[in-house]
Homo-oligomer: A and B are copies of this chain.
Amino acid sequence: MSKKKSFLRSPCAIANSLDILGDRWSLLVVRDLLQGKQTYTELAESREHIPTNILADRLKRLEAAGIISRNEYQRRPTRYVYALTPKGAELRDVLRAMVAWGTKHIPGTLVMTQRPKN
């Protein structure tokens, strides 16, 4: 089935990236997954205290956008591990640029390299 490409706002790569990632939380979830977090509980424990309803929403949206994948690792209760897809992992460069900008221009900010406890 061929379908005419339609964009929410324009064909601009930046506008379309922001339609997926343009909020205060999505890229923090990507940051945490890049740093090795895998479970909902680990993601919820981050220092920014993401509200759990927002975390659940962002995980769904990132999965729908092909940025993360979700795999069941336990039943009763069902639990999932989350991981970046190759598409998601390549957001690394966006985050690196943001870290470089932030640490240079927002006094006191840091590169946070928190890793999950093993």
Contacts and interface: CB of A to CB of B under 8 A. Distances in A.
Nearest to A106: B16
Interface residues of A, number: 48
Q: How many copies does the complex hold?
A: 2
A41 to B, nearest CB: 18
A23 B93 CA distance: 19
Contacts of A87: 105
A71 to B, nearest CB: 21
B47 A9 contact: yes
A105 B87 CA distance: 7
Interface of A: 5, 7, 9-20, 22-25, 27-28, 31, 47-49, 66, 87, 90-91, 93-112
